[in-house]
């Protein structure tokens, strides 16, 4: 056997062993139920990941709803697309809290959109809910943590929930099934480049 034949055989053996392990794990993963997915961290890509999952679900004919807890001053490209595909959107009525500087008004707006979220979290016709930027509502204490945990725990068994935002509360991380932290290596904004349509909003 030549050296290259030997290497090729060794590679095949290693790949076979990897395949067996992966197949075993696929066979073992039999449980089917709704998931809580958290996308947190300081890097760019949290909301786009949430919207991407909503698009994926809608592509399979699932029913999805989006709740946006912090509305920016810009329109949202995903909304233009997904509303046409039957996804309901609820958006907090105020802008960024550092723009409004009116805490009572922000709390009121957060509570209103949370009441709507609670209805969605009871509705077993909704397969996927994106709670975009929910984490800030808990950091600012605009919403009651126990109430949020309770609503998440008691949702329909097959309903998926995606939660995005920086600095996710550890109690939500503990409750979640899948948690990803997006790390910022660099961002165009730090180099003086303004937010770009279709990329940042």
List interacting residues with ligand ATP (CB under 6 A): 42-48, 164, 166, 182, 184, 187, 189, 195, 200-201
Binder of residue 201, out of Mg ion, ligand ATP, none (CB less than 5 to 8 A by kind) = ligand ATP
C-alpha 113: how far from chain center: 17
Look at the block and give the residue holding tokens 């920016």: 72
Please state, in angstroms and rounded to a whole number, the distance separating the CA atoms of residues 163 and 94: 20
For Mg ion, give the closer residue by CB, 123 or 166: 166
Shortest gap between Cβ of 50 and ligand ATP (angstroms)?
8
Shortest gap between Cβ of 7 and ligand ATP (angstroms)?
42
For ligand ATP, give the closer residue by CB, 17 or 99: 99
For ligand ATP, give the closer residue by CB, 4 or 73: 73
Scanning 38-46, 114-122, 134-142, 153-161 for contacts with Mg ion by CB under 5 A, the matching segment is: 38-46
133 CB-near residues (< 8 Å, 6+ apart): 47, 68, 69, 70, 164, 165
Is the separation of the CB atoms in 164 and 134 below 8 Å? yes
Binder of residue 189, out of ligand ATP, Mg ion, none (CB less than 5 to 8 A by kind) = ligand ATP
Is the separation of the CB atoms in 38 and 104 below 8 Å? no
For ligand ATP, give the closer residue by CB, 50 or 58: 50
Site for Mg ion in 43-72 (CB under 5 A): 46-47
In this structure, the number of other CB atoms found within 10 A of the CB of residue 73 comes to: 8
Binder of residue 193, out of ligand ATP, Mg ion, none (CB less than 5 to 8 A by kind) = none
Look at the block and give the residue holding tokens 């698009």: 55
∠ CA 95-100-101, nearest 5°, is 140
- Binding-site ranges for Mg ion (CB under 5 A): 46-47
């Amino acid at each position: 056997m030549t050296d290259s034949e030997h290497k090729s055989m060794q590679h095949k053996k290693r790949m076979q062993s990897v395949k067996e392990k992966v197949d075993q794990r696929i066979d073992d993963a039999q449980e089917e139920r709704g998931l809580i997915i958290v996308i947190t961290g300081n890097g760019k890509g949290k909301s786009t990941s949430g919207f991407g999952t909503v698009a994926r679900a809608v592509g399979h004919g699932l029913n999805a709803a989006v709740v946006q807890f912090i509305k920016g001053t810009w329109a949202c490209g995903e909304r233009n697309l997904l509303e046409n595909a039957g996804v309901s959107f609820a958006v907090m009525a105020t802008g960024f809290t550092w723009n409004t500087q009116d805490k009572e008004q922000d709390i009121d707006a957060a509570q209103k959109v949370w009441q709507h979220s609670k209805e969605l979290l009871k509705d077993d016709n909704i397969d996927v809910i994106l709670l975009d930027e929910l984490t800030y509502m808990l950091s600012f204490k605009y919403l009651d943590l126990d109430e949020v945990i309770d609503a998440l725990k008691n949702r329909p068994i097959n309903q998926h929930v995606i939660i995005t935002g920086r600095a996710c509360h550890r109690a939500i991380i503990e409750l979640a099934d899948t948690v990803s932290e997006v790390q910022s290596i660099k961002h165009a904004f730090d180099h003086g480049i303004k937010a770009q349509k279709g990329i940042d909003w």
